[in-house]
């Protein structure tokens, strides 16, 4: 009996010693392990935050990552090496699987944080990162989730173009540009309009609202955004003249409200203010509301026609006019011609659209619609046929219609089909940042009869060079949601940034 008691005591003694050693090791090792594996350390290691700036965690050493909260105003605005594509489901959330909460609703910042964390599968628009996307249910938030593979930055961006046309001043913009968005309820009764042709207006406003450029302090603003929605106003009335008067009335009311409540307009007579208008009316649609909207305020428009008295090239900005984004968009399918064999491009020139509109299209119909080397179609094609000719044509005709611009311009660029622009006085998008002569052919309207001769004079070497250049530049014409570095949204914002030297016309 005594022998058994001794054995039991020895076992208990050994167990106590082992437990004590484990407890000591736990105190020595685990806190350090926790400190090196908090979300903050991960973000610092990836240079997403400034290590010197303290992030506000609810509990830095908490073993439950989803209880941590990041103060994301400390996020450094810089591109990541591996950026994922995200799909979005609106008015939807995912049950469970919360990873952590980030103290921001800025989609661009949430995406950067999720990109940096391998265990992040997505996030919702309230700032909750997800370690898995579980059962979905209807909600007031939007759900973003990673697609399977990182985006190919080698395909998307050209370092040569970035260094030559963006450079350090672009990086400075991402850190210093501040925009104050005025708000109004005057047009609250007017519904938003989804439209493939003019949709860049609503998309731009949406992207701007969720961008890191927005400030709630107007005293630190570089620019002020005027919340006009001219396309939505125009669509409420079918009659063109009545719609023009209604739009001018809405703009006048909103501008009067802004001038009554803030002093910033009067400070520069609107020279540090800007607005977006995608409709064909362009800046003419607001000119009757206030003379300084035309003289001073910066207009972001599709109708960038410097033959037009209301468009001022050195002040206003020509938008990449067609908002195609997402997994199944033309931009994502075409990728600037990547993966397409140039030898498959057997058609000399292609066009599909209304041939009875404007001053140029009827001439194209008369001279070239029956030429065997051209594929000229009256009206729209099915998606399949349209994409087929974008892939198999050397040149795509971009013809002036009622106005200077055409959404077909973006389609051609996205598929690597060299644009042939026949539209005098069209201030091309991103002009001054990109050299259009390297990837497009610009022909005067008076030369329509010589069109085929001009295209056949382009040597095979020159054509190949232009096709390669399209692969390098196409990403700058893509509207991503959320925006990506150097894409259409960021490029337009950079053009705005370069206009920060205020010029006022009395």
Place 164 in a pLDDT band, splitting at 50, 70 and 90. Answer: confident
Do the bridges between strand 98-102 and strand 84-89 make them parallel or antiparallel, or are there none, so unpaired? unpaired
Residue partners of 45: CB distance under 8 A and separation at least 6: none
pLDDT (tens digit per residue) in 43-62: 544 444 443 332 333 332 33
> Residue 196 contacts by C-beta under 8 Å, 6 or more apart in sequence?
322, 323, 407
Listed residue (211, 142, 294, 98) closest to 493, CA to CA? 211
Token readout for 483 is 């925006």
Is 50 exceeded by the pLDDT of residue 414? yes
- Alpha-carbon distance of 238 to 257, in angstroms, equals 27
Do residues 93 and 136 touch, judged by C-beta distance below 8 A? yes
Q: What is the pLDDT of residue 451?
A: 98
Cα 104 to Cα 71: distance, rounded to the nearest angstrom: 7
Quote the Cα angle for 424-425-426, to 5°: 95
Q: Which two structure tokens, joined as six digits, stand for 267?
A: 């400070």
Report, as an integer, the average pLDDT of 243-258: 90
The answer on pLDDT for 110 being more than 50 is yes
What's CA 33's distance to the chain center, in Å?
A: 39
Q: Summarize the confidence of residues 58-77 as an average pLDDT.
A: 33
* Class at the top of the CATH hierarchy for domain 42-151: alpha beta
The per-residue pLDDT for 36 is: 39
387-406: per-residue pLDDT in tens?
999 999 999 999 999 899 99
123 close to 110: Cβ distance less than 8 angstroms: yes
Choose the weakest-confidence range: 18-27, 91-100, 130-139: 18-27
Give the integer Cα–Cα distance in Å for 266 and 224.
12
Instruction: Determine phi and psi for 348, rounding to 5 degrees.
Output: -65, -50
88, pLDDT greater than 70: yes
Domain ranges of the chain: 42-151, 167-323+490-497, 330-478
Closest of 399, 318, 401 to residue 358, by C-alpha: 401
Cβ proximity of 128 and 116 under 8 Å: no
Residue that has been written with the tokens 């003289």 in this structure: 295
Burial 277-309 (b: 16+ CB within 10 A, else e): bbbbbbbbbbbbbbebbbbbbbbbbbbbbbebe
* Percent of the chain's residues with pLDDT above 90: 46
pLDDT of residue 325: 53
- Give the mean model confidence (pLDDT) for residues 289-318: 90
- List of residues 6+ apart from 361 with CB closer than 8 A: 353, 354, 355, 399, 400, 401
List the single range of 1-5, 126-130, 402-406 with lowest mean pLDDT.
1-5
> Using the 8-state DSSP alphabet, how is residue 440 labeled?
-
- 277: which 2 tokens? 């208008």
Record the pTM: 0.71
**Overall average pLDDT of the 256-270 stretch:** 94
Higher confidence at residue 350 or residue 506? 350
Concatenated DSSP letters for 357-421? STTTHHHHHHHHTT-TTEEEEESPPPHHHHHHHHHHEEEEEEE--SSS--THHHHHHHTTPEEEE
Superfamily name with CATH number, domain 330-478: Glycogen Phosphorylase B; (3.40.50.2000)
């Amino acid at each position: 009996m005594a022998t058994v008691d001794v054995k039991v005591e020895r076992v208990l003694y050994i167990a106590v010693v082992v437990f004590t050693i484990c407890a000591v090791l736990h105190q020595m090792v685990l806190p350090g392990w926790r400190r090196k594996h908090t979300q903050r350390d991960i973000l610092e290691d990836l240079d997403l935050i400034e290590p010197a700036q303290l992030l506000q965690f609810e509990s830095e050493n908490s073993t439950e990552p989803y209880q941590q909260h990041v103060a994301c105003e400390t996020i450094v605005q810089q591109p990541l090496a591996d950026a994922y594509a995200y799909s979005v489901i609106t008015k939807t959330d995912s049950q469970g699987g919360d990873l952590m909460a980030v103290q921001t609703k800025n989609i661009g910042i949430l995406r950067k944080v999720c990109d940096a964390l391998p265990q992040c599968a997505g996030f919702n628009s309230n700032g909750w990162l997800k370690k898995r996307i579980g059962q979905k249910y209807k909600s007031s938030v939007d759900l973003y989730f990673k697609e399977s593979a990182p985006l190919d930055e080698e395909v998307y961006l050209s370092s040569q173009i970035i260094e030559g046309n963006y450079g350090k001043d672009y990086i400075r913009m991402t850190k210093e540009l501040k925009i104050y968005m005025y708000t109004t309820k005057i047009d609250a009764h007017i519904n938003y309009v989804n439209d493939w042709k003019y949709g860049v207006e609503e998309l731009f406003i949406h992207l701007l609202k969720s961008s890191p450029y927005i400030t709630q302090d107007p005293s630190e603003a570089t620019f002020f955004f005027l919340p006009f929605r001219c396309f939505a106003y125009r669509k409420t009335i079918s009659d063109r003249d009545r719609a023009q008067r209604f739009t001018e009335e809405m703009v006048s009311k909103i501008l009067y409200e802004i001038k009554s409540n803030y002093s910033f307009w009067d400070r520069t007579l609107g020279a540090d203010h800007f607005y977006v208008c995608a409709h064909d009316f362009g800046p003419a649609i607001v000119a009757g509301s206030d003379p300084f909207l035309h003289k001073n305020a910066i207009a972001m428009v599709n109708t960038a026609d410097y033959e037009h008295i209301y468009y001022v090239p050195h002040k206003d900005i020509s938008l990449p006019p067609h908002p195609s984004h997402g997994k199944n968009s033309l931009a994502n399918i075409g990728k600037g011609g990547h993966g397409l064999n140039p030898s498959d491009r057997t058609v000399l020139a292609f066009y599909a659209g209304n041939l009875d509109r404007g001053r140029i299209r009827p001439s194209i119909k008369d001279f070239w619609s029956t030429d065997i080397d051209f594929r000229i179609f009256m009206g729209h094609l099915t998606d399949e046929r349209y994409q087929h000719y974008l892939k198999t044509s050397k040149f795509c005709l971009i013809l002036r219609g009622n106005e200077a611009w055409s959404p077909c311009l973006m389609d051609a660029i996205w598929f690597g089909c060299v644009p042939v622009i026949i539209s005098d006085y069209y201030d091309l998008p991103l002009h001054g940042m990109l050299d259009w002569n390297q990837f497009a052919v610009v022909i005067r309207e008076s030369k329509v009869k010589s069109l085929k001769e001009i295209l056949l004079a382009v040597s095979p070497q020159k054509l190949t060079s232009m096709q390669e250049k399209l692969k390098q530049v196409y990403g700058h014409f893509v509207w991503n949601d959320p925006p990506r570095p150097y894409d259409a949204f960021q490029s337009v914002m950079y053009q705005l940034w370069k206009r920060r030297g205020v010029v006022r016309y009395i």
